[in-house]
A = this chain, B = another copy of it.
Amino acid sequence: MSTDARTPEPPYWAVIFSSRRSITDPDEYAAAATRMVELASQQDGFLGVESARASDGFGITVSYWRDREAIAAWRRHDEHRIVRERGRQAWYEQFQVRIACVERAYERTQEDG
């Protein structure tokens, strides 16, 4: 997964999740990661997600949300809670979560010349 998220004009919110993968369960992990993106994108207030993981196991996923309430609701989602717990136990050697308010944003595409 990757993709550049098409977010609206700020302000909106970001959840920055940086993690180091363990070598456990690559297939189970990949299926769960795909499912979580699918599920997140169905939630009210979801704006987009970007993700990159390098070959050394370190990865960053940033999901974007309309407001803090949308983030809180997603954290309470039952299936998400179960998968988070599984991640905590098995998939990550280490992770950090940061919740941030995006106040400014700009982009550049090839078409800008």
Residues of A whose CB lies within 8 Å of any CB of B are: 2-5, 7, 10, 14, 16, 18, 20, 50-56, 58-60, 62, 88, 92-110
Contact = CB atoms under 8 A, between A and B. Distances in A.
A4 B108 contact: no
Contact of A97 (B58, B95, B97, B107): B107
Contacts of A18: 4-5, 50, 52, 62
Contacts of A107: 94-97
Given A53-B52, A56-B2, A103 B106 contact: no
A98 B14 contact: yes
A95 B5 CA distance: 11
Contacts of A52: 18, 52-54, 58-60
A101 B14 CA distance: 9
Contacts of A2: 20, 54, 56, 58
A98 B102 contact: yes
A94 B4 contact: yes
A64 to B, nearest CB: 9
